[in-house]
Structure 1
Amino acid sequence: MIASFFIRLASLFVLVLLAACSGGAVVFAPTPAPADASPATYTHPSGVFSINVPRQWPVYEQYTTNLASASFAPPDSSETVLTVSVIDLGQEIDSQTFGQLIEQYQTQVRPDIETYSEQNREALGDGSWRMTGLRLTPAGNTQQVNTFLQRDGSRFAVLDVVVPDDPALASQVEQTVNTLAIHSESTLTPADFSALAFVKPASLGFLHVATWTTPEGVFFITGEVANYGAVPVNNLPVEAGFLTADGLSAGGAVDTIMGYGIEPGGFAPFSLRFGSGQPSIAEDFMLRLGGDSWHNDPEAVIFGANALEWTDESSFNSDGNLTISGQITNVIAAPVYNLRVFVTVFDDQQRVIGAAWSEVTPQLLAGESANYNLILPELGGDPVNYIVGAQATD
């Protein structure tokens, strides 16, 4: 099969490169560039669309009954450069409706709506439209983005392209864009137009990453991990590695998310602490999720809001430390074990400026409650809000 030329990324292996003291963007695991970089036809598992991309470009797929999407990155790339997504609206899209949908997509539905600004739009000769715009990355950098919108019967298709700086890569991407084909004979369940807002370039991602240093010189990397996939992930490692200007290792650390797992659509905080501070020779750092020795067990039983209820209140203790306390109750008819509580603290820009967790009790019987108390002696700014989570095992 032609599709065998493509590497389908393990949905639970993600790398992120970040400039020191900044945010970052999800990137694909490095893949050695093949000798043959000629195009091959990729067809989405739904059969809804196909596109010719260079062989060995990694692909991350989304496929539900009403959404078909695929994201591509060149080998050794630091970011996705091309994402295709298609939905079926259940009725023919005429020219007037198409114009209304274009406006709605650009102003309300785009997945990057909070960081994107449109610069120009242009009608193309084949009936599609090209939007040029700028996107602000988590690192604070600006990307040029070209978005192509087209209709085919009742299908609405989006092709999103991050314009590369490298001329050779830009030429490859341009050739790829012109090969997108929508296949009307394939089947998609009709969807609401808002389904396009849920297109993601990977199943796991970093959010609200912040770096900060305490007055004592302790360096922190804090943030959240989001699960955009369809299965839970558990005991997920988060690794940070410092890099010199030459890309050489300058040390690092590894920890796991705070909590036993992340349900689909959920989030979990992480906090990496470097007691000796950021190495003086470090220019950048890399964040990595998962790893070669980590194996996810999506069947593991983790109790959360489906079995536990909790209260919370915040205060500052006599040392000026933020304190979060409350009570957790087991509301199911069976005991739960290894009860854990965790908190994520945000500043006024929704950056994670602190996170903490604690074991509460080894066992909590049906109907029982247990008190918890979390103290955060180190924060990377002024706290504005926080989220408390609780989990247990069976």
Structure 2
Amino acid sequence: MDDNERKSMSAEDQSAPSEQSIVAYDRGAAIEQSDGFSNPGLPPHRPRQTDLHPAKERRAERQVVAWFLLSMLGSVLAIVAYIAVPIEPGNMGSVRANNLFLGLAIALALLGVGIGGMHWARQLMSSHEVVEERHLSRGSEKSRARAVEIFELGDQESGFSRRTLIRNTLIGAVAIMPLPAIVLFRDLAPAADAVDSIAHTMWTEGERLALDPTGTPIRADDVTIGSAFHVIPESLKDLGHDEGYLDQKALAAVLLMRLPVDRLKEAPGREGWSYDGIVAYSKICTHVGCPVALYEQQTHHLLCPCHQSTFDVTEHAKVVFGPAKRPLPQLPITVDAEGYLIAQRDFTEPIGPSFWERLNHIDPDHVPVSAAETETRA
């Protein structure tokens, strides 16, 4: 091709109109703009075998029922395993056997409900794909009525009301499933009256206050202003671990502090609960039972490290900050003939967090507060 032909072709290219599309870019982003594509719609519905053959539908229904029945059996076996394979103190083999059989039974109960529900949804519930447009969280009365219709439609499609056998076995499996947990949690409580066990401690009249953990009795002269002692009953050291040592210590743990006498704001009827500015309060927080172990010498505040509940020691450990709703129970104290600090009696109310029967265990003769405040303390 010679130079004249090249010039001729170049001129033709310049004179011909351009057929290329103009590409627009978003400002600053250099993103090509394009028209939206049309909605392709939903794919055609493919019926399942259970939709086409009634016999296979009935077989799938029986399989779902079988899984729910298997779940019920697992729940019952969990209770049987917990009772039939007890944990023997000092025998690790019994611990492993108990955990093994209990875990297998609970796993069977959970798997039965899970697999049965999945099989029900995949084989028997409606498999038609639907599109639901998003809407505001609060709709009109018309839309709310429509929601009820959709709920009823879902019930019809799932067959929850129509397939009574599946529904009843599902309800039975779910109802029986919590029984192992109830048995396990109840066995954690004392065999005797659980409420009475946690409403009273080892503190009795004349019980000496002792240092934790040595069990050394404390003289009133040993408690200086600004100091804080972690205290247990002196007789606790004679209690073996297999006799409930840790449980009793958790109930009876006390914090002992000494304040200037003029800083104490004692309520009428409680003047004799302290001794020369020395006061004793339960170490168990009234929020969720954490140990209150932080003492501020300048403000005379006790702090719970778990959720920052703060108690004012100068006013019967009332709550000044945090989620706790009740003051720390106060232990009435005095000294014996040898100068050792002793308890006058047990706490006048249960220690720790609230529980339903708490009000019945508050001693109104030794807690001089109004009826409304008694309800609050409970």
Structure ranking higher on relative contact order (CA contacts 8 Å, 6+ apart): 1
Give TM-score, length-normalised by structure 1. 0.19
Structure with a larger share of its residues in helix: 2
The structure carrying a bigger strand percent of its residues is 1
